[in-house]
Chain A
């Protein structure tokens, strides 16, 4: 398991290759990369704030939970903070497992939790000013499917 909370940009391709080379016994690797998007064509960038200490701790707890639920050979989370430009990767999740179902599910589980349980806050910057991104109800709903009875 690896966690990196960093200000620096990263190369998702290089990270994937490094991760794949390190996992033993994997038959499937799934990755997700989140990118700063500008659907309305008005953003100049994004600023991400986080809670140093708690962030790493919360992500590690998510990775532990994923490892307990699925037979994973490895799992990687990279998440940036600070100033980001449109088109740059924000974060990346990679999971490795003997078979693809576990790798896909664990990656989705980690993504759903990172969205609303890791202490990051996004602020979008445009020419007219900047605004905090509001949390979506759908993100909260997404967590329900992982809840155990």
Chain B
């Protein structure tokens, strides 16, 4: 089981902030592919990976990051702090 979190417009498009998933995805990219096939709202949120960032266990990561042993994956747009 893995916790998947969504922030900002990713959260709005998918319609929820967090969900717990059973997945066999090996990498973040696999997980995205799996999510995209679920429903149109996921397809909408993940249609352009260039506008997305990912954190794995609360550290910024790339889409090829492995998911073995990972507890939490978060998807969000580029950050706008400061």
Taking Cβ atoms with an 8 Å cutoff, the residues of A that contact B are 34, 49, 51, 53-54, 57-58, 79, 90-91, 111, 114-123, 132-135, 140
The residues of A that contact B58 with a CB separation of less than 8 Å are: 51, 53-54, 57-58
Contact A119 B82 (CB under 8 A): no
> A54 vs B75: C-alpha distance in the bound complex, in angstroms?
13
Interface of A is mostly: mixed
User: Which residue of A has the minimal Cβ distance to B17?
Assistant: A49
B42 interface residue per 8 A CB criterion: no
16 pairs, CB–CB < 8 Å, chain A vs chain B: A51-B7, A53-B58, A57-B58, A90-B82, A91-B82, A117-B81, A119-B74, A119-B81, A120-B81, A121-B7, A121-B80, A132-B8, A132-B9, A133-B80, A135-B77, A140-B78
Q: Which residue of A lies closest to B53 (CB)?
A: A119
Is B79 positioned at the interface, with any CB of A under 8 Å from its CB?
yes
Bound: A133/B81 CA distance, A: 10
Closest residue of B by beta carbon distance from A116: B79
Query: How far, in Å, is A139 (CB) from chain B's closest CB?
Result: 8
**Is B63 close to A, CB under 8 A?**
no
Task: Indicate if B5 sits at the interface (CB-CB under 8 A).
Answer: yes
With a cutoff of 8 Å between Cβ atoms, the chain A residues found around residue B81 in the complex are 79, 91, 114-120, 122
